[in-house]
Amino acid sequence: MRFPVRAMAVAGESMLPALRPGDLLLVRIGARVRAGDLVVALHPERPGLLTVKRAGHRAEDGWWLESDNQRAPGRQDSWDFGAVPDRLVVGRAMARYWPPSRLAVFPAGRSAPS
């Protein structure tokens, strides 16, 4: 398979209302990222920690990743640590499959439905 798909869980409230704690996502590892995509990246200051953010824009040194909910407790994004290098961007969220009542597909380059 050229781009493997992995299941990942959302924790925290930084991506409300698009994503809620406990949502389960299908993430296409290594997929091309476009502005507006929901992406999973390794936190640049906390090795091993995965984070889900919205790709804001491509910067000279990587992707500017932002939380949808800037007021979430403990929220950290590019406003705190700058652009995230490409090597730390793991993949693009393709769909939310849990809970079933919030089933959604996330087209590339578009905002996720809330």
Q: For the chain, which domains are there?
A: 5-105 (2.10.109.10)
Across 77-81, 89-93, 110-114, least confident range? 110-114
Query: Can you tell me whether residue 92 is helix, strand or coil?
Result: strand
In contact, 43 and 76? CB cutoff 8 Å: yes
pTM of the model: 0.90
Confidence grade of residue 3 (pLDDT, cut at 50, 70, 90): confident
Q: How far apart are CA 21 and CA 66, in angstroms?
A: 17
Query: Quick one: CA dihedral 61, 4, 108, 51, positive or negative?
Result: negative
- Which pLDDT score, from 0 to 100, does residue 107 have? 87
Residue 114, pLDDT > 60, answer no
In contact, 42 and 90? CB cutoff 8 Å: yes
